[in-house]
Amino acid sequence: MQRFSIWSLIRNAVGHHEGWQRQWRSPDPRREYDVVVVGGGGHGLATAYYLAKEHGVGRIAVLERGWLGGGNTARNTTIVRSNYLWDEATRLYEHAMKLWECLSRDLNYNVMFSQRGVMNLGHTLQDMRDIERRVTANQLNGIDAEVLSPARIKTMIPFINLDTRYPVLGASFQPRAGVARHDAVAWGFARAADALGVDIVQHCEVQGIRRENGSVTGVDTTRGFIRAKKVALVAAGHSSVLADMAGFRLPLESHPLQALVSEPLKPVLHTVVMSNAIHAYISQSDKGDLVIGAGIDAYTGYGQRGSFPVIESTLQAIVELFPVFSRVRMNRQWGGIVDVSPDACPIIGLTPVRGLYINCGWGTGGFKATPGSGWVLAHTIAQDRPHALNAAFSLERFSSGRLIDEHGAAAVAH
Ligand SMILES: Cc1cc2nc3c(=O)[nH]c(=O)nc-3n(C[C@H](O)[C@H](O)[C@H](O)COP(=O)(O)OP(=O)(O)OC[C@H]3O[C@@H](n4cnc5c(N)ncnc54)[C@H](O)[C@@H]3O)c2cc1C
């Protein structure tokens, strides 16, 4: 792998930037692998990277039906935080946060992780009670979290309007939270995994999962049958479709989730502002665009678009909070398909088929977990049993009833 550094930049500048190598190979798939990862989003690529790096697994392929990051990874609004309510979720997301803090160096790729803080506004007395409860739980778990008064919010963002139809009574704030550059995350993991020998095969759709005597034996793809000792399904909104191919059902609903970006502005908003109550959140990218997100569309489906009323109510809420943005023009809008589980927590672990593993159910909030999710799934695949960090996130919890209800801290709030 050609390493990036100030020296490689200078060398290539002198050479008119004609000497850069391709970032990863485009190999034809082999007939057989030790591990096949289905899905070339951030989670699938991170899984392959940590399998090769931490567990020395030799023959790994990532099969992606489209292009890398073409799913939710590069459609999301990139909010990264770890201030969840329950111990199990906090531990998992905080593990991811620690990996984020060293990720650019680890991958030798700038993922532009920017710890600018995330603020969750409270608009009712019940919101404020929930915020107090969550901040206290976070502090007990060693997570940086504080409650902000309206005056403090105003000091941090002088142009915010707190006197809205549902007045802002305060907020929770996680200073170490922030945003990252989403496609760089996919590319950085792809490049580093490729350097460790992982075959990344784009435009290769998995259309069947073969099994013999209850164990997985391989996958049928648009590029032929590929034999595999182990297969991991990491397909976000399409996880149920893949589980169906393997003969079991997942307790997931696939919904569209929308976002939009504005024309670029000079730097004005230096933190992330979210509101569960009014279903809207906003940040400003390093490029200057305002990045705005909505709640999920209520219907299920696979059309990556979403409906207009959701956008309309989101923008109403944003303009009420930030009247100063009322004349900013929006550049682009899009949707992604999110896999929502009943307790708003992911499913990471074994499946009823031996040798087949699953990582899904991240719903509206899986980007923040990308490195941690890949790390625990790699461990689960290599050891054939979950790591302590993902043991609670098994598929069995939906029959045993040991749910981890994070609706308050996840839901639409990413
Ligand atoms: C608008 C929007 C905003 C969001 N905002 C945030 C946020 O601010 N913070 C946050 O933490 N999370 C956010 N999320 C959620 C986050 O994007 C996802 O949870 C996360 O990116 C999931 O990553 P992934 O790698 O599992 O999925 P994906 O990136 O979707 O990767 C799955 C891949 O599997 C591939 N695939 C599917 N079926 C097959 C098949 N049969 N064969 C081969 N490949 C297949 C797909 O093409 C896709 O590339 C948001 C999501 C959306 C849509």
Question: pLDDT for 323-358, tens place per residue?
Answer: 999 999 999 999 999 999 999 999 999 999 999 999
pTM: 0.97
Contact 250, 361 (CB under 8 A): yes
Average pLDDT of the residues in 139-149: 98
Torsion of CA 273, 292, 363, 83, to 10 degrees: -10
Percent of the chain with pLDDT over 90: 94
Pocket of ligand 1 (CB under 6 A): 38-44, 63-66, 70-73, 75-79, 205-206, 234-236, 238, 242, 257-259, 293, 336, 338, 362, 364-368, 414
Best residue for ligand 1 mutational test, from 76, 174, 260, 281 (most atoms within 8 Å of Cβ): 76
Confidence of residue 411 (pLDDT cuts 50, 70, 90): very low
Confidence of residue 276 (pLDDT cuts 50, 70, 90): confident
Give the residue, by CA position, lying nearest to ligand 1 atom 37: 235
| Rg (alpha carbons) of the chain, rounded to whole number | 21
Confidence of residue 101 (pLDDT cuts 50, 70, 90): very high
Across the chain, what does the average pLDDT equal? 96
Give the residue, by CA position, lying nearest to ligand 1 atom 35: 39
* Closest approach atom of ligand 1 to CA 362: 19
Question: pLDDT for 227-267, tens place per residue?
Answer: 999 999 999 999 999 999 999 999 999 999 999 999 999 99
Burial class (CB in 10 A: 0-12, 13-18, 19+), 274: buried
Taking the centre of ligand 1 as the mean of its atom positions, its distance from the CA of residue 17, in whole angstroms, is: 33
Give the residue, by CA position, lying nearest to ligand 1 atom 21: 73
Residue 199: its pLDDT value, please? 98
Contact 318, 325 (CB under 8 A): yes
* Closest approach atom of ligand 1 to CA 78: 8
Which letter does DSSP use for residue 307 in this model?
A: -
Residue 407: its pLDDT value, please? 83
